[in-house]
Amino acid sequence: LRDVPDFARYREKMPRVLMLLTHFLRDLLVSNLRVAYDVLTPTHYMRPAVVAVPLRAKTDGAITILANMISLTPGTLSLDVSSDRSVLYLHVMYLDNEDDLREQIHKLEDRVLAVLE
């Protein structure tokens, strides 16, 4: 495999891929537990909102991967991308702090972009 062009790049990207998967699986577990807790308890803690998150990703592939990863986690849904691809609109079930949500999305976006670069 060392004679295959760009094989070294795959070896360099594996730690980034593992970090992305670890981050995503942690988010998936936490959001599943939060939604399950809210469903199983008599009191509902939902504070739904639609949030606009500025994007640094510019390619269709990066935006699609990010939007799909967000939609796969319970409690969040990617609604739309602005026509100039600069803003991703999300529906969230639990909006505790809008700035924290944007920061979490940007961390995920950074990991997606690190894998795709």
Per-residue pLDDT of 15-45, as tens digits, reads 999 999 999 999 999 999 999 999 999 988 8
Q: What is the pLDDT of residue 57?
A: 92
CA distance 19 to 86: 25
Q: What is the mean pLDDT of the chain?
A: 90
Joined together, the tokens standing for residue 5 give 């062009």
Domain that holds residue 39: 7-116
pLDDT the model gives residue 11: 73
Domain membership flag for residue 56 = yes
pLDDT at 8 over 90: no
Domain count, the chain: 1
79, part of any domain? yes
Can you give the three-state secondary structure of 68-114, one letter per residue? Answer: HHHHHCCCEEEEEECCCCCEEEEEECECCCHHHHHHHHHHHHHHHHH
Q: Are 95 and 51 in contact (CB under 8 A)?
A: yes
> Considering the entire predicted model, what is its pTM?
0.84
Asked whether 115 and 31 are in contact (CB, 8 A), the reply is no
